[in-house]
Amino acid sequence: MPTYKIRGIDVDFPYEAYDSQIVYMDKVIQSLQEKRNALLESPTGTGKTLCLLCATLAWRKSLGSFTTGVSMHTGDKSEGKSDVSLSQSESSTFSTIVYASRTHSQIRQVIQELKRTSYRPKMGVLGSREQLCIHDEVKLLRGKTQTNACRFLCRRRGKRQCSHFHQVAEYLKGNSHLGEEPVDIEDLVDIGRKFGPCPYYLSKELHKFVDILFAPYNYLIDRGYRNSLQLSWSNSVLIFDEAHNLESICADAASFDLPSWLLTTCIKEAESCIDLSIERRDKSNDKSQNPDDFAILRALLLKLEKCISEVPIESKELGYTKPGPYIYELLADLNITHKTASKLIGIIGVASTLLQEHNQQKSTGTVCRLDRIGEILDIVFRDGRTAHAKYYRVHVREVEAWAANDSKGKVSRTISWWCFNPGIAMEDFRNKYGVRSIILTSGTLSPMESFAEELKLDFPIRLENPHVITPNQIWAGVVPVGPSGYTFNSSYRTRDSLQYKQDLGNAIVNLARIVPDGLLVFFPSYYLLDQIIGCWKSVSNENSMSIWDRICKHKKPVIEPRESSSFPLSIKVSEGLDFADHAGRAVVITGLPFATSTDPKVRLKREYLDKQSRPEGELFKVLTGDEWYNQQASRAVNQAVGRVIRHRYDYGAIILCDERFSHQQRLSQVSRWIQPHIKCFSRFGEVVFTLTRFFRDVGTQCPTKVSLLEAKKEGNLGELTSSEQHIEKLFSPMTTPKAQNFSLKASSLIDTKKGHASFLGEIMPANRSSLSFDNCKTVHCKSSSDISGKVLLGRKTLLSSECERVELADSCHLGEKSKDTPIAPCSSKKRKFMSGEYDLKQCFGNSNEHSSSGVVDLRDKDGVASNSVELTRQKGNTPADSVPSVGDETQGSAFLAQVRDKLSAAEYIDFVGCMKALKTKAMKISEVLQCISRLFSGPDRLPLLKRFKDYIPAKYHSLYEHYVEEKTSIT
């Protein structure tokens, strides 16, 4: 395992690192050493998570040994309390690393990456009860109902108590080593099922003394949960991975919406509490709950409902808006103040428990809505202060009643208290806890400036890393016009034009023909998605096919619905899912996904920022409303285009179908690693030429799936990406002159030690997923944004045998050459898959065995060249410059003809790609021979398996015979 000395710290890395990876680790260590915050962008597939873990843990290890052993001294088991001590007491003085990501599945992937490193810190992982509960009844519940049921059973004694909860302390006492090896949520669940302790409370105990703690975002952002964590926050390190939506998550966590239907439900629950408390008092003389308290609660909620209903709303579009501090005036009329709020929150807690106990007895899983009122009061009266209210706006609007409510169709109201300063969710870390460093990182942070300005944090250390791919693995272009020359612009001025919709559709038809495998198409909004799909499905005349039908000839579309409930298996593709390899070969952006400007939350956010950006504003510079509005759209685009290149060996195209992307200002907001590759085309025909050539060439230049499979066998790769599974293709809703080259060189502070040789210099992505498709079945993943809609175009065949004539209405025809670079004419009947010529003699290097060769050009039935492969038949002592004999050339031709006949189209591409990979030293000889032996396995291919030996140097015959024997014995 190579070791790199970075800023004086030895960093063990599983593989030979790229310069960009070393630069990334350098920035991480600089942030930790200098106690400063960092904002780090590194594209997906560059090994970001692995670099982050290795650099952080190397720095932590340099301070002192990792924590080992935890001894448990059980206390009051009924309350789940225990005393914990470390066998290494000094470890508790070192910085705790808190690693947060958005979801449990992403945390799981990070822990898998930790297993690949040499570091073994004491670790813990926090999960929800939904993920960890193993109680037969409670695990079936969700949300607050599950939480209350869990707490209720943990407090009980006797048969109804939770036996798992009471085994936690005893288990930890006898297993102090837990956490010294990477342990995931599934591992904790397995321990619970095998040995009895509750996995949820096991994780809660384990996290108290760890070197590194893994947790979802909300565990840190939610003040209530954060305060329950028993961590030493002082001098700790906070890492937010996948942080591109952190600002919106922080703002949402500090805001609330209270619709009429929810308030009505809370009033009914308060009435139920009155009845239940009276019933208990009469039947069992239980006076622990006072009916008068619940009566007061009900009266306050009724009065609040009346106040909201009387708010004067003159315009349905504008609603009723007041400054943030107005919320205190509204609540003061109900006698809810800082003094009374805490008592009211306590009454709500008692009411929630009473309702939960009743539901347990009745075996109902009804959710207690009163808890939400308590959460709202906690947000408004946080820490007994009011200063934070200046960052808010009160807004009341009229909406159609909730669909599932009895009052469906009637007009109802929603009162909101929206936070427009996401930084208040992070200020405790800076001002209260004394955190050492905060690192925000993601594959798509650009445009970066808004993060510091929105979060009100200083980020002196910043990085926009390049990708580890080569330029020939990506095609990126601005397509300002369609096949008929109509300008692409999705703004409201042109998007409703019939000509725009039709030309965009014709462009997608052509792209669907050119792009192999998965094609993702993003629309700026669901409205536009619906309008355009409707137009495409209409037929202009009886004798022609609709645009939609023509698309369906090449791809199998999957449309993302507005509501996931209407299509439970819909695919959310704008972010979060890994459409690597065949799943996503190209992404089409049909416009800029601006949020609806008339949406009250968007409008008020822009007004707030404009006011704050004046000279007399905040200490930190803030964005103007227009800057924020534009950057949000650009960030959504960056997240969408980041779906294409998912790892070192991946390749794909980014197609920007909107003329506005040709403006320099818009280009500057595209992720930095993409900018050098972007070209602006003036005619659609140029796009067809260059894109066709790109996919024709890249298939032979990039390592094949076979090489990835073999690399995995060598221990160089973790889980393989979704390219190894059957993947369907895709469709969906959500510049310029070539930019300056962007490159990063390793710092002079960095020194490399000699380590063990690594078989693989490239790093697979840490955040890949196991998404798979079968006959266009899809999985659901929550989308972070509602501003874009999407369509997934499903693949019909991996290798199409036919390619219809490309329809071009402009003056650029297939026989012409592009302005940028020459390109060979493309047949209008068949798609060419030119793999180039490969000389095995060159691939094997200097073997001191000379050979003659014969070149065979294989053609299909129509005479179109499919692949051209040069095979060299080994001749014992033939001079190097000897003329190939006709016999050898004929035998080579015959052999390749048999190979083409026996292998499928996809297998033959793997065969050719394998030869190319060997020639470029992308694969070792052993890998090539394993690849060939597998392709030629099977009774009908055994003659090919044996004959291939004639075309390799004699010194490799024994190795190849080993593979032949294996396949023969299996057969």
Task: State what percent of residues in the chain have pLDDT above 70.
Answer: 70
pLDDT of residue 464: 92
* C-alpha triplet 60, 66, 67: angle, nearest 5°: 130
The answer on pLDDT for 23 being more than 90 is yes
SS3 441: strand
- 415 and 512 co-located in one domain: no
pLDDT of residue 619: 52
How many CB atoms are closer than 10 A to CB 195? 14
pLDDT of residue 225: 81
SS3 464: strand
The answer on pLDDT for 805 being more than 60 is no
Report which of residues 510 and 914 the model is more confident about: 510
pLDDT of residue 646: 81
The answer on pLDDT for 700 being more than 60 is yes
pLDDT of residue 68: 80
Distance CA 768, CA 723 (A): 11
Range with top average pLDDT, 400-414, 525-539, 882-896? 525-539
Q: How far is CA 491 from CA 130, 385, 524, 574, 637, in A?
A: 43, 44, 9, 20, 15
Helices (H), 142-284: 143-155, 168-174, 185-195, 199-206, 218-221, 223-228, 246-253, 260-284
Tell whether 182 is covered by a domain. Answer: yes
pLDDT of residue 753: 34
Q: What is the CATH number of the domain that holds 230?
A: 3.40.50.300
Distance CA 659, CA 503 (A): 14
Average pLDDT over residues 17-39: 95
- Asked which of 232-246, 332-346, 511-525, 734-748 is least confident by mean pLDDT, the reply is 734-748
pLDDT of residue 72: 45
pLDDT of residue 366: 67
- 523 and 654 co-located in one domain: yes
The answer on pLDDT for 676 being more than 50 is yes
- 414 and 506 co-located in one domain: no
Average pLDDT over residues 91-112: 86
The answer on pLDDT for 490 being more than 50 is yes
Structure tokens that stand for 36 in this block: 């400063």
- Asked which of 34-38, 367-371, 594-598, 899-903 is least confident by mean pLDDT, the reply is 899-903
Confidence of residue 444 (pLDDT cuts 50, 70, 90): confident
Tell whether 803 is covered by a domain. Answer: no
- 287 and 408 co-located in one domain: yes
Domain boundary among 405, 423, 441: 423
Report which of residues 118 and 967 the model is more confident about: 118
pLDDT of residue 904: 74
Give the contacts of 818 (CB within 8 A, at least 6 positions apart). Answer: 686, 689, 690
Q: Which structural domain, as residue segments, surrounds residue 941?
A: 895-966
Contacts 24+ apart (CB under 8 A), 500-504: 501/531, 501/532, 501/535, 501/536, 502/535, 502/547, 504/532, 504/590, 504/657
Average pLDDT over residues 665-690: 92
Tell whether 737 is covered by a domain. Answer: no
Pick from 465, 439, 442, 468: which is nearest to 59 by CA? 439
- 230 and 176 co-located in one domain: yes
The answer on pLDDT for 439 being more than 50 is yes
Q: Which residues pair with 625 in a beta bridge?
A: none
- 495 and 640 co-located in one domain: yes
The answer on pLDDT for 785 being more than 80 is no
The answer on pLDDT for 795 being more than 60 is no
Confidence of residue 845 (pLDDT cuts 50, 70, 90): very low
Confidence of residue 919 (pLDDT cuts 50, 70, 90): low
Domain boundary among 236, 260, 293: 236
- Tokens 């398996």, residue? 945
Confidence of residue 858 (pLDDT cuts 50, 70, 90): very low
- Asked which of 446-450, 576-580, 694-698 is least confident by mean pLDDT, the reply is 576-580
- φ/ψ region of 434 (left if φ > 0, alpha if ψ in -120 to 50, else beta) reads left
Mean of the per-residue pLDDT values of the chain: 75
Structure tokens that stand for 504 in this block: 């965009």
Structure tokens that stand for 477 in this block: 């272009």
Give the contacts of 136 (CB within 8 A, at least 6 positions apart). Answer: none
pLDDT of residue 772: 31
- Asked which of 210-214, 819-823, 896-900, 913-917 is least confident by mean pLDDT, the reply is 819-823
Distance CA 944, CA 948 (A): 6
Tell whether 100 is covered by a domain. Answer: yes
Structure tokens that stand for 459 in this block: 């980020």
Tell whether 835 is covered by a domain. Answer: no
Count of domains observed in the chain: 4
For residue 166, the 8-state DSSP code is: G
pLDDT of residue 748: 26
The predicted-structure confidence for 295-312, as pLDDT tens digits, reads as follows: 999 999 999 999 999 999
- 265 and 379 co-located in one domain: yes
- 310 and 367 co-located in one domain: yes
Tell whether 785 is covered by a domain. Answer: no
pLDDT of residue 702: 60
- 483 and 600 co-located in one domain: yes
Tell whether 295 is covered by a domain. Answer: yes
Distance CA 701, CA 694 (A): 10
Pick from 684, 645, 670, 687: which is nearest to 739 by CA? 670
- 195 and 266 co-located in one domain: no
- Asked which of 129-143, 171-185, 833-847 is least confident by mean pLDDT, the reply is 833-847
Average pLDDT over residues 921-932: 73
Average pLDDT over residues 114-127: 93
pLDDT of residue 802: 29
The predicted-structure confidence for 823-836, as pLDDT tens digits, reads as follows: 233 333 333 222 22
The answer on pLDDT for 777 being more than 70 is no
pLDDT of residue 849: 35
Helices (H), 257-369: 260-284, 291-309, 326-332, 338-362
Reported in sequence order, the residue ranges of 684-732 that DSSP labels E, i.e. its strands, are 731-732
How many CB atoms are closer than 10 A to CB 710? 24
Amino acid at 17: A
The predicted-structure confidence for 150-203, as pLDDT tens digits, reads as follows: 888 887 766 678 889 989 988 988 888 899 999 999 999 999 999 999 999 999
- 275 and 231 co-located in one domain: no
Distance CA 859, CA 868 (A): 9
- 231 and 267 co-located in one domain: no
How many CB atoms are closer than 10 A to CB 193? 11
Domain boundary among 205, 236, 267: 236
Q: Are 556 and 795 spatial neighbours (Cβ–Cβ below 8 Å)?
A: yes
pLDDT of residue 924: 72
Tell whether 263 is covered by a domain. Answer: yes
